[in-house]
Amino acid sequence: MDTGEFRKRAHEIADWMADYLEGIGERPVRSPSAPGEIAAALPAGAPVHGEPFDAIMADLDRIVMPGMTHWQHPRFFAYFPANATPPSMLAEMITATLGAQCMLWQTSPAATELETRLLEWLRGMIGLPGGFAGVIQDSASSAVLCAILTARERALGWKGNEDGLAGGPELAAYASDETHSSVEKAARIAGIGTRGLRRVALDGDRRMDAAALDAAIARDMAGNVRPVIVIATLGSTGVGAVDDLASIAAVCRRHGVYLHVDAAWAGSALILPEYRAMIEGIESVDSLCFNPHKWLGVQFDCSAHFVRDPDSLVRTLSILPAYLQGRETGSVIDYRDWGIPLGRRFRALKLWFVLRYYGVSGLQEMLRNHIAWTRELASQIDGNGEFELTSGPNLALLSFRWRPAGRAEEELDELNQRLLDAINDDGRIYLTSNRIDGRLVIRVSVGAHATRRGDVLDAFRVIREIAARV
């Protein structure tokens, strides 16, 4: 493709993108595609000869688009948001064009230095103390794996990487049942194992019980098990529970245990001064991660990972073959040493575009709207005798259960599952489920950038209308 054709196609694609965004609200939120349907429409092998670009674009519309679930849809209320704002999309077009591999300072100094500066901006925006240094990871899952590996090395006197874990002490990590599954996955990868991950009891608000944590660590220490790390959560995936960081931090301080904070979703709300109390106790935190790619308008992937002691992270993850050494090695930041993969995308550019385009106040307004509209939805649900609010509203997340009169408790799980399936098949809104104390509940998570108050309030009308015919 020569630059003349590239220019023409890029303009066409810009139009395609704007048309998509203008018409997104008319599409079913969740793809109606059946398993295997998209694969069946694709040829079994690669084309031997190149094809016209128009044919590729036609198949994008014909084959791919029906199989897409629309995360930027104004009535996407599933999972947590992955809200991509238009400036972030435009930045990603530039990133794609540059095609840079930003593993070392030398392989694009601007990528490294923008990332360092932008993470300082973010640190200030969310109220972290100056001592924290930041890096952009691809995901919160990677950040927690880095945290567990660093904590493990610290707990093993920096010998685990060298010697392996065989013959070493039994290791333990601590989290609650509200903790995201990425923590268990990371504990497995880091050699702590599912059995070494202690599930600390929850209090009545589904927060990790600090006294139970204290007892679990003391029990392990008495039994010659080495505590490695505690993972606290700000904004759990299930119900948005916010652990009492100050109490957990005090326990970690007392026992000298590493403390990582997973604020993947709720961390964005720290840009609102009225939610800063969530990080009381931050002085004793070793690392914290939140995802601007969830709720701060920055395209996936962009996970902000802050560490109090970058030397420990680098000591854990750095490995320096001759082919990666350069004149500046050791005197500049090489972010390849701060994460799992060697290769890195230029992720700071989209963050820069978003922060500059909206400013802190623009992003604060978006979050405050989402939180306020979720509260309005919660009071609609709460005021209706057929529905029970089962959690929240916590920030912009709530869950509910349909309990029509005359139905036995044992029937409600199946009934709510049928309601959820019917809602998602209908396509006007998209919701997901969770279990609280074993009971199936329906989650509503507000956070798409395109969502307006009417979309949120209308959701309950759609839910009731569909419930009436289930």
List residues binding ligand PLP (CB under 6 A). 80, 139-141, 180, 182, 233, 236-237, 262, 264-265, 291, 303
H helices within 296-347, ranges in order? 310-317
* Residue 410, token pair as written in the block: 């044992």
Helices (H) and strands (E) in the chain, counts: 16, 11
Select 80 or 430, whichever has its Cβ closest to ligand PLP.
Answer: 80
- Name the residue nearer to ligand PLP (CB basis): 209 or 262: 262
* Residue 315, number of CB atoms within 10 A of its CB: 15
Tell the smallest beta-carbon distance from residue 315 to ligand PLP (Å).
24
Give min distance, CB of 139 to ligand PLP, in A. 3
DSSP state of 338: G
Q: Which is nearer to ligand PLP, 103 or 264 (CB)?
A: 264
CB of 79 to ligand PLP, least distance (A): 6
In the complex, the smallest distance separating the C-beta of residue 298 from ligand PLP, rounded to whole angstroms, is 12
As a whole number of angstroms, the distance between CA 103 and CA 111 comes to 9
| CA distance to 46, 155, 292, per residue, from 227 (Å) | 51, 8, 31
Q: Toward ligand PLP, which CB reaches closer, 183 or 466?
A: 183
Shorter beta-carbon distance to ligand PLP: residue 82 or 156: 82
Smaller CB separation from ligand PLP, 180 or 336? 180
| Cα torsion angle, 337, 342, 348, 351, sign | negative
141 or 424, CB closer to ligand PLP?
141
User: How far, in Å, CA of 210 to CA of 423, rounded?
Assistant: 39
Between residues 104 and 208, which has the closer beta carbon with respect to ligand PLP? Answer: 208
Q: In which element (H, E) is residue 229 found? A: strand 226-233
How far, in Å, CA of 155 to CA of 171, rounded?
9
419: CB partners within 8 A, 6+ apart: 402, 442, 463, 466, 467, 470
Residue type, 267: G
Q: What is the Cα Rg of the chain in Å?
A: 24
CB of 18 to ligand PLP, least distance (A): 28
Across 33-147, the runs of DSSP E, i.e. the strands, are: 133-137
Q: Which residue bears the tokens 């902000």?
A: 304
CA 294 – CA 268 distance, rounded (Å): 8
CB of 86 to ligand PLP, least distance (A): 22
Residue 327 burial (C-beta neighbours within 10 Å; 0-12, 13-18, 19+): exposed
Pick between residue 88 and residue 107 the one whose CB is nearest to ligand PLP.
88
Sheet hosting strand 226-233, strand order edge to edge: 133-137, 303-307, 287-290, 258-262, 226-233, 171-176, 197-200
Residue 182 beta carbon to ligand PLP: minimum distance, rounded to whole angstroms: 5
Q: How far is the CB of 259 from ligand PLP (least distance, A)?
A: 16
Go through the chain and tell me how many residues it has.
470
Angle between helices 210-222 and 245-255 in degrees, nearest 10: 20
Give 350 or 428: the residue with its C-beta nearer to ligand PLP. Answer: 350
Least distance in angstroms from the C-beta of 192 to ligand PLP: 17
Is 221 within 8 Å of 255 (Cβ atoms)? Answer: yes
Q: Compute the least distance from the CB of residue 30 to ligand PLP, in Å.
A: 17
* Least distance CB 309 / ligand PLP (angstroms): 22
Q: Where does 132-204 show beta strands of DSSP type E? A: 133-137, 171-176, 197-200
What's the token pair of residue 232? 């606290």
Q: What is the DSSP letter of 28?
A: -
Q: Give, in degrees to the nearest 5, the angle at Cα 369 between 443 and 135.
A: 80
Q: Is the CB of 180 or the CB of 370 nearer to ligand PLP?
A: 180
Q: Give me the least distance between CB of 181 and ligand PLP, in Å please.
A: 8
Give whichever of 80 and 373 is closer to ligand PLP, judged by the CB atom.
Answer: 80
